[in-house]
Chains A and B, each alone.
Chain A
Amino acid sequence: MKRQNRLTSETQNQEQRSGHHTEQKPATEFVSVEEMLRHDRLHTPVPPSIEQRLRQSTEAAAPRAGASWWRRIFGGSER
């Protein structure tokens, strides 16, 4: 992922000229909407509670032993 900090550099140059030293927050740039969304997705955690609920739900909905479709998909590795 290509990210740049152009604003940070520009701000630092301005600080040097003016003699001020204030803390600046770095700017993050994205070259496309898609890149921004991928970054956002990467930093959006999945709530652990979903997995906990799903484990319980699938336990109740698990196929019967010997269900042929499950064997067809996963090659016979039923529980």
Chain B
Amino acid sequence: MSEPPTTGRSGDERQPGWAIPEFAAIYEEHSRAIYYLALRFLSDPHKAEDATHDVFLKAFRKMDQFRGEASWRTWLYRITINHCRNLQQAWHERHMLTSADEGIWDHTPASTDSPLRVLETKELGQRIQKTLDSLTEEYRLLLLLVADEELSYEEVASLTNQTADAVRGKLHRARKAFALLFQKSA
């Protein structure tokens, strides 16, 4: 079973009001990753804020179902993905490319070897969001999950219901699509 993470802070320094101090440590360690996934997945800071709250509350309520077979991070990611999919199903999916359109990236010239360059770091988040919004949900999710160094390809595969080999194959196309769209977003 996975041990709850430590925060490096003493209980006295922690803000009062947490019902279970150990859960505060889990929140502190994973909240940035969960909020970032929700933000870039939903493309809306307010929805991401609500989603992050709801994901952690759901995890808190369902913690008796946590068997320790996965890491806390993976478990929280699974809740986040399901929650965000439910949220955006009604309004976001209809603006995405269909899976049949994914093949266009195979025939579009774009170098994945060239460095991605930005002049204004303050605009980086906006350009990343714009680029991610133009990708299919699958590509967007793959890139966001693989960017988390705590996850293995096998864990990403499990979270996206496919094999690790399929993840590796699709990742190449996802990177290529992102690079092309990011360059166009300048």
Residues of A within 8 A of B (CB): 4, 6-7, 25-41, 43-44, 46-47, 49-51, 53-59, 61-63, 67, 69-70, 73-74, 77-79
- Shortest A32–chain B CB gap in Å is 7
Residue numbers in A under 8 Å from B148 (CB-CB): 38
**Cross-interface CB contact of B116 among A36, A41, A50, cutoff 8 Å:** A36
Contact B116 A33 (CB under 8 A): yes
Given pairs A29-B116, A44-B35, A79-B20, 14 additional interface contacts (CB within 8 A) = A6-B115, A33-B174, A40-B36, A41-B32, A41-B36, A41-B147, A44-B39, A51-B27, A59-B19, A63-B20, A69-B63, A70-B20, A73-B4, A74-B20
Taking chain A's interface residues, is the majority helix, strand, or loop, or is none over half, making it mixed?
Answer: helix
- The CA of A76 and the CA of B66, in the complex, are separated in Å by 16
Chain A residues with CB under 8 Å of B69's CB are none
With CB as the reference atom, state the residue of chain A lying closest to B131: A33
Q: Is B104 an interface residue (CB 8 A)?
A: no
Contact in complex: B4, A74 (CB < 8 Å)? yes
Kindly list chain A residues whose C-beta atoms are within 8 Å of the C-beta of B128: 36-37, 40
| Chain A residues within 8 Å of B106, by CB | none
Within the complex, which residue of B31, B45, B64, B178 is in contact with A33, where a contact is CB–CB below 8 Å? B178
User: Could you list which residues of chain B lie within 8 angstroms of chain A, going by C-beta atoms?
Assistant: 1, 4, 15, 17-23, 27, 31-33, 35-36, 39-40, 45, 49, 52-53, 56-57, 60-61, 63-64, 66, 115-121, 124-125, 128, 143-144, 146-149, 174-175, 178-179, 182
Q: List 15 A-B contacts (CB under 8 A).
A: A27-B118, A33-B174, A34-B146, A35-B147, A36-B116, A38-B147, A38-B148, A43-B125, A50-B35, A54-B53, A61-B19, A61-B57, A67-B64, A73-B63, A74-B4
Which residues on the A side are within 8 Å of B15 (C-beta)?
A: 51, 55
Residues in A neighbouring B36, C-beta threshold 8 A: 40-41, 44
